[in-house]
DNA sequence: CGTCTTTATGGGACCGATATCATCATCGAT
DNA sequence: ATCGATGATGATATCGGTCCCATAAAGACG
């Protein structure tokens, strides 16, 4: 009685019932005539098995089109290979760049990014966080977005590295890597003051209620503080509409500022999006930039360098930020495996004024 | 001897060894004095248990800060709650919008999007696909990005719904929802021809080798075909640089076209990014748009509506596309549960010329 | 009031991998 | 020739949930 299995129904020795057709590690092991453990080794640490055995297993894997089930693997090894990333939205070039840089940095180590957006909604934030944690990420990256008591508690309970990025919070949960939005505001104000302007305005969104993003408001706080330190009035700091800001936001806001009797000589916009919108609106109104009004932005979006005049702005390298975050995570995760997690790390990536033509001396 | 457990070390009856501190369903069940199954029911189908029991369980869940482990759940229930999305990049407003719309549509049904980018690299595409499938998504959404034989085979083997979006391929793998890039090209050409232009040009990227994205080239194919049908020359169709295109790309390309002796009267750019770059370059060169040259784009990016003159373009609602895809997926997945998957569905969401001021009659 | 449903809950196997330890063969050193 | 060290592979328990079926209690009905 030849024991060679029939080709079609690969029902072998033990569990006869199979609900799905998808091959498991057991199918591979049978086809290759080895134990499941050997198959597992071939796929995770190939040097550990003899070349001959390895080839046999790899052939079986290829023949069956076997793709291991990471859910099962995760459960057993307690390593999911997930990194969670929570951000306000992906519809923002800078956040998309962060996600991009992070993915790149993690790709080699075979980590997969789990992305959740809050859409600037705090209730959503908590739900999303719970969903994320249910996937047992090995670390979580936040975009200055966690405020609720409950959310923080969940994070701590999860007992994984937490990295806050894009903002350096005064009281970081654990690690942080980014820049100070407050400093952005101060730097912008300082820059405009040094150019000799007296009447300096700004464009921002109102920091109303439940918006899970205070980064813009931080910038404004810094901006106003610096103005005050130099005895400038802050009444031209306009909070118009609500976040997230947009080209339209900038257009509407600059219109309002230009209509004032004490029209500002220079305006800082909370985001390049608003700044570009403002410049475009000026073009339409026949208001010359920078001759009639200087405009400065934040974020160094690609479009800012392309418009006429090109936009003076404050640059932060978000993609690099994502990559550095990835690097830090890999370090934390490997280190974590060998010893205690160690000190919280705070990294300031700094910022840089990019001088272009939309601001001239006042 | 009182059997009330000590508060701190909740080590109870059976398995004494616990490597992590994180509570499991077993801890909850013990604290609530019910079976694990009852806890599971409370969390997945609350109406199935008595209100009194339910409250007790929920309290235990809250007290312990219990968050279920979806990996374990997935393994057992064979439902991961993942939908895979593969796209060329997230650093493109339209793709980000798709992801956004899709997330929204799936949010309610508690599906989680697993995003992978290929960065327009075909080798990466295959690796990414394998990684995605290892997470056992219940469906997969592709952005006209799968070409390799192996990749297609893996998809078929995975035995899950496959939806290709943003392009309507001539030979869809299964379902498809989107628009025809070829039609985009034809529509653009038709529009410009109808405006009475004779010398019509275009700006695109060269479709070189291993770029996993032929959508742009499809547009150009349609554009050229339509030109030919109307006896127009196609020698002003310029393929400059390689994908992905950018503002700079458009600027450089329009410069090249404008330098020609037979300078075009109207130019269609493969993307609004290029188109906006072209308009900005014209501003710099003192070439008036549309008086000296008309410019038309594709994609209806937000910035297009803001520049001066605002850009005539072809609109496709990518966010809606994402949402409709989500809707289709939910339908497929629920239907799949009850019966055979049924016919492949092909949905054309169409496109629409948005007439603004960057094109005038020739 | 006994029998038949219906409803709420529990028991145990199982999902598909990996961790851990045992086993067996091979080989150099004594 | 004997023995411990080394390397390759296998057997089994386990990860943390859910499926499936059993069972007990409560209500329906003649």
- Per-residue H/E/C for chain A: CCCCCCCCCCCCCCCCCCCCCCCCHHHHHHHHCCCHHHHHHHHHCHHHCCHHHHHHHHHHHHHHCCCCCHHHHHHHHCCCCEEEEEECCCCCHHHHHHHHHHHHHHHCCCCEEEEEECCCEHHHHHHHHHHHHHCCCCEEEECCCCCCHHHHHHHHHHCCCEEEECCCCCCCCCEEEECCHHHHHHHHHHHHHHCCCCCEEEEEEECCCCECCCHHHHHHHHHHHHHHHCCCCCCCEEEEEECCCCHHHHHHHHHHHHCCCCCCCEEEECCHHHHHHHHHHHHHHCCCCCCCCEEEEECCCHHHHCCCCCCEEEECCHHHHHHHHHHHHHHHHHHHHHCCCCCCCEEECCCEEECCCCCCCC
**Nearest chain A Cα distance for residue B159, angstroms:** 8
Contact flag A67-B302 (C-beta cutoff 8 Å): no
Q: Are residues A290 and A213 in the same domain?
A: yes
Which residue of A lies nearest to B280 if distances are taken between CA atoms? A307
Q: Are residues B190 and B278 in the same domain?
A: yes
B308 plus B186 within the same structural domain: yes
Residue A17 has pLDDT above 50, yes or no: no
Range in A129-138, A297-306, B48-57, B93-102 with the lowest mean pLDDT? B93-102
Question: A40, A66, A69: best mutation site toward chain B, by most B Cβ within 10 Å?
Answer: A69
Residue B17 lies in a domain: no
Residue A281 has pLDDT above 60, yes or no: yes
Does the pLDDT value for residue A148 go beyond 90?
no
Kindly report the backbone phi and psi dihedral angles of residue A116, in degrees, each rounded to the nearest multiple of 5, phi listed first.
-130, 140
pLDDT, position B242: 87
Domain containing residue B145: 79-179+319-350
Nearest nucleic acid nucleotide to B78, CA to C1' distance: C15
Same domain, yes or no, for B198 and B94? Answer: no
Determine the pLDDT at residue A11.
Answer: 31
Residue nearest to nucleotide C20 (CA to C1'): A37
Q: Do B303 and A276 touch (CB under 8 A)?
A: yes
**Least CA distance to B92: which residue of chain A?**
A93
In a domain, B3, yes or no: no
Helix (H, G, I), strand (E, B) or coil at B204: strand
CB–CB contact A117 B100 (8 Å): yes
Express each pLDDT in A109-122 by its tens digit.
Answer: 999 999 998 887 87
Q: Which two tokens stand for residue B37?
A: 């199954």
Mean pLDDT for A273-298 is: 97
> What digits encode the pLDDT tens for the residues B209-252?
555 568 899 999 999 999 999 999 999 999 999 888 999 999 99
Between residues 212 and 231 of chain B, which touch chain A (CB distance below 8 Å)? none
CA B56 to C1' C11, in angstroms, rounded, equals 21
Give the Cα separation of B279 and A77 in Å (integer). 56
pLDDT at B74 over 90: yes
Of B117 and A196, the structure prediction assigns the larger pLDDT to A196
What is d(CA B136, CA A70) in angstroms, rounded to the nearest whole number? 8
Q: Is B307 on the interface with A (CB under 8 A)?
A: yes
pLDDT at A337: 53
Residue B157 resides in a domain: yes
Give the nucleotide nearest to B50 (CA→C1'): C8
B40 in a domain, yes or no? Answer: yes
A161 touches chain B (CB under 8 A): no
Q: A154: which residues sit within 8 A by CB, 6+ positions away?
A: A126, A129, A130, A133, B65, B67
Structure token digits, residue A37: 């453990």
Whole-number pLDDT of residue A12: 33
The H or E element spanning position B114 is strand B112-117
What is the mean predicted confidence (pLDDT) over A159-167? 91
Cβ atoms A252, A205 nearer than 8 A: no
Q: Are A202 and A236 in contact (CB under 8 A)?
A: yes
In a domain, A96, yes or no: yes
- Domain containing residue B49: CATH number: 1.10.260.40
A253 pLDDT exceeds 80? yes
Chain A contacts of B68, Cβ < 8 Å? Answer: 134
Residues B90 and B111 in one domain: yes
Task: Identify protein residues whose C-beta is within 7 angstroms of any atom in strand D.
Answer: A 33-38, 41, 48-50, 52-53, 72, 75-76, 78; B 15, 17-20, 22, 24-26, 36-37, 39-40, 43-44, 66, 68-69, 72-73, 75-77, 79
pLDDT in tens, B158-215: 889 999 998 888 888 899 999 999 999 999 999 999 999 999 999 999 987 555 568 8
Q: How far is it, in rounded angstroms, from Cα A152 to Cα A175?
A: 14
Nucleotide nearest to B70 (CA to C1'): D17
Report how far residue B320's alpha carbon sits from residue B102's, in angstroms, rounded to the nearest whole number.
9
Mutate to test the interface with A, among B307, B322, B357 (most CBs of A within 10 A): B307
B153 shares contact with chain A (CB less than 8 Å): yes
The one-character DSSP state at B355 is: -
Q: How far is the CA of A26 from the C1' of D18 (A)?
A: 22
Note whether A115 contacts B: Cβ–Cβ < 8 A: yes
Does the residue A94 lie in any domain? yes
Looking across all nucleic acid strands, the nucleotide with the smallest C1' to CA distance from residue A75 is D15
Domain containing residue B256: CATH number = 3.40.50.2300
Q: How confident is the model at residue A108, as a pLDDT?
A: 87
pLDDT of residue B212: 52
Structural contact between residues B351 and B315, judged by C-beta atoms closer than 8 angstroms:
yes
Based on the fold, state whether residues A238 and A289 are members of the same structural domain.
yes
Asked if A246 and B302 come within 8 Å (Cβ–Cβ), the reply is yes
Domain shared by B189 and B306, yes or no: yes
Q: Are residues B171 and B186 in the same domain?
A: no
Residues B187 and B204 in one domain: yes
């Amino acid at each position: 009685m030849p024991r060679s299995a029939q080709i079609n129904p690969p029902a072998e020795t033990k569990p006869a019932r199979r609900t799905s057709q998808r091959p498991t590690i057991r199918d591979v092991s049978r086809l290759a005539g080895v134990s499941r453990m050997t198959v597992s080794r071939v796929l995770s640490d190939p040097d550990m098995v003899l070349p001959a055995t390895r080839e046999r297993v790899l052939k079986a894997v290829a023949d069956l089109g076997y793709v291991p089930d990471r859910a099962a693997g995760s459960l057993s090894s307690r390593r999911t290979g997930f990194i969670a990333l929570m951000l306000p939205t992906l519809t923002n070039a800078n956040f998309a760049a962060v996600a991009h840089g992070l993915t790149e940095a993690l790709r080699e180590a075979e980590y997969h990014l789990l992305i959740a957006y809050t859409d600037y909604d705090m209730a959503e934030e908590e739900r999303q966080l719970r969903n994320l944690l249910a996937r047992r990420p090995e670390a979580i990256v936040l975009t200055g977005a966690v405020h609720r008591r409950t959310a923080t508690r969940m994070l701590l309970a999860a007992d994984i590295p937490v990295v806050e990025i894009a903002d350096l919070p005064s009281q970081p949960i654990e690690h942080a890597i980014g820049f100070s939005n407050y400093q952005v505001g101060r730097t912008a104000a300082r820059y405009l003051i040094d150019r000799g302007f007296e009447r300096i305005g700004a464009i921002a969104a109102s920091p109303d209620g439940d918006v899970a993003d205070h980064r813009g408001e931080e910038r404004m706080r810094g901006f106003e503080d610096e103005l005050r330190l130099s005895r400038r009035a802050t009444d031209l700091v306009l909070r118009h509409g609500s976040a997230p800001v947009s080209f339209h936001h900038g257009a509407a806001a600059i219109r309002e500022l230009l209509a004032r009797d004490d029209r500002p000589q220079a305006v800082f916009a909370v985001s390049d999006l608003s700044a570009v919108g403002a410049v475009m609106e000026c073009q339409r109104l026949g208001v010359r930039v920078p001759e009639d009004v200087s405009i400065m932005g934040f974020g160094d979006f690609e479009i800012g360098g392309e418009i006429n005049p090109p936009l003076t702005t404050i640059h932060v390298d978000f993609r690099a930020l994502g990559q550095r975050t990835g690097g830090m995570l890999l370090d934390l995760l490997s280190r974590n495996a060998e010893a205690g997690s160690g000190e919280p790390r705070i990294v300031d990536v700094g910022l840089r004024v990019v001088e272009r033509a939309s601001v001239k001396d006042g």
